[in-house]
Amino acid sequence: MVSNGWRLSRGRGAGAAQLPLAICAVVAIVIVLLGKAEASIFDHARAKISDWVAPILEQVRDPLAGIERWVGGIGTFFSVYEENLRLKRENAELKRWQNAALTLERRIERYELLLHAVANSELPSISARVIGQSSHPFVKTMILNAGTAQGVKSGQAVVDDRGLIGRIYLAGQRSSWVILLTDLNSRIPVVITPSNHRAILAGDNTPAPELQIHELGGKVKAGDRVMSSGDGGLLPPDLPVGLVVADGDELRVALFSNADAADFVHVLDYKAPVEPPPGAAAAELPATRQFTSGDIVDAPAPGQPEPMTSPNALTGPAPLPRLSPGMAAANTPQRPRTPVDEDVTPSDE
């Protein structure tokens, strides 16, 4: 049967499987096209499978992670001295930055106090363990051991201690899938500081995703900081993403996060503030067509400044989003209420 190592014996005659093979080939192409047209069918199956294998992956992960650490440690064993010196230098530098950060933090607190601004609060988050990771040529994904049962939902941002890793694209009951920033299909809106240029961070399965800047003539340079912009309302703004690096003619981003080394991550529960739809012009409102715009706004009380007639003032009661205090602080610009606000905000009565 088998001789000389890997010599294989003959099976049945060639060509016997051609018909089922042709059928299967057609099925494969149909699956590819169906996966593109109706991804939800396969996403549902994927969520079920990941829920099913999640306990197995969790059990297998620990011993394998030990082996991984041991193998990974072999390389660093011979460079412990140099690594120690490098870490001491880095530590000294970080202490300097810590002092600067503390000073700035106190200054910001004072400014916020002066402006009566509500301080930003932490976004609520769900801690989850990485139980699976795909390092394949076409996909860069991660499986977490938290799903809808823990409050994880599709679209939520996933961060490690250093920055944004990706976002949830599929949530099962007890597990969820993260599409990494490096994945071919990942596209997130970012802002580059200090120039404040808006860009799209596009993954291409390389470790450093590409930066697609739409604004021409910008002065984006290597070393600039990249953060999530929050545009589109999917991801929270101001999440640290990475630093701009030049790669020939194009710009890429060296990510702060390290998905390969991630053990525990945080899934941010962010809800974008609901923006009211643009209001109709006063002349378009049936009930107000007969009045002039000045008639709608209450007359100012004696001694008070003349209220400005803004488009919002004419469109009637705009639905205000119901946000938790933290969310409101994180996502809406705060300003002191003015007499104009008082005038145009209708009462519940």
Partner 1 sequence: MGGQSVLGFVIRTFIVLIPVSFGVVLVMMVNLPVSVTGGLIPAPQLVLAPIYFWALVRPDLMPPIAALGLGLLEDLLSGGAPGVWGGGFLAAYAFSERQQDSLAGLSGSGAVLGFAAAMFIAAGTAYALAALAYWQWPPAAPVLLQSAVTVAFYPLLAAIMNRLHRRFIGPRRED
Residue with smaller CB distance to partner 1, 133 or 193: 133
Characterize the bridge pairing of strands 125-135 and 140-144.
Answer: antiparallel
Nearest to 151 by CA among 177, 171, 130, 122: 171
Angle between helices 80-115 and 39-77 (to 10 degrees): 130
> Taking the complex as a whole, how short is the minimal distance between the CB of residue 87 and partner 1, in angstroms?
19
> Taking the complex as a whole, how short is the minimal distance between the CB of residue 106 and partner 1, in angstroms?
40
Whether residue 211 contacts residue 251, with contact meaning beta carbons closer than 8 Å, is answered with yes
Angle between helices 39-77 and 18-37 (to 10 degrees): 90
User: In the chain, at which residue ranges do the beta strands (DSSP E only) sit?
Assistant: 125-135, 140-144, 157-159, 164-171, 176-180, 187-193, 197-202, 210-213, 225-228, 240-247, 250-255, 264-268
Residue with smaller CB distance to partner 1, 78 or 138: 138
Residue with smaller CB distance to partner 1, 1 or 216: 1
Whether residue 139 contacts residue 183, with contact meaning beta carbons closer than 8 Å, is answered with yes
> Taking the complex as a whole, how short is the minimal distance between the CB of residue 182 and partner 1, in angstroms?
9
Residue with smaller CB distance to partner 1, 23 or 281: 23
Whether residue 114 contacts residue 106, with contact meaning beta carbons closer than 8 Å, is answered with no
Residue with smaller CB distance to partner 1, 12 or 322: 12
Burial of 289 (0-12, 13-18, 19+ CB in 10 A): exposed
Residue with smaller CB distance to partner 1, 29 or 246: 29
Residue with smaller CB distance to partner 1, 97 or 138: 138
> Taking the complex as a whole, how short is the minimal distance between the CB of residue 112 and partner 1, in angstroms?
41
Residue with smaller CB distance to partner 1, 79 or 304: 79
> Taking the complex as a whole, how short is the minimal distance between the CB of residue 156 and partner 1, in angstroms?
17
> Taking the complex as a whole, how short is the minimal distance between the CB of residue 159 and partner 1, in angstroms?
18
Nearest to 263 by CA among 85, 100, 144, 148: 144
* 36-73 residues labelled b (16+ CB within 10 A) or e (exposed): eeeeeeebeebbeebbeebeebeeebeeeeeeeeeeee
CA distance 184 to 169: 14
Strand partners, 164: 159
> Taking the complex as a whole, how short is the minimal distance between the CB of residue 39 and partner 1, in angstroms?
8
> Taking the complex as a whole, how short is the minimal distance between the CB of residue 146 and partner 1, in angstroms?
14
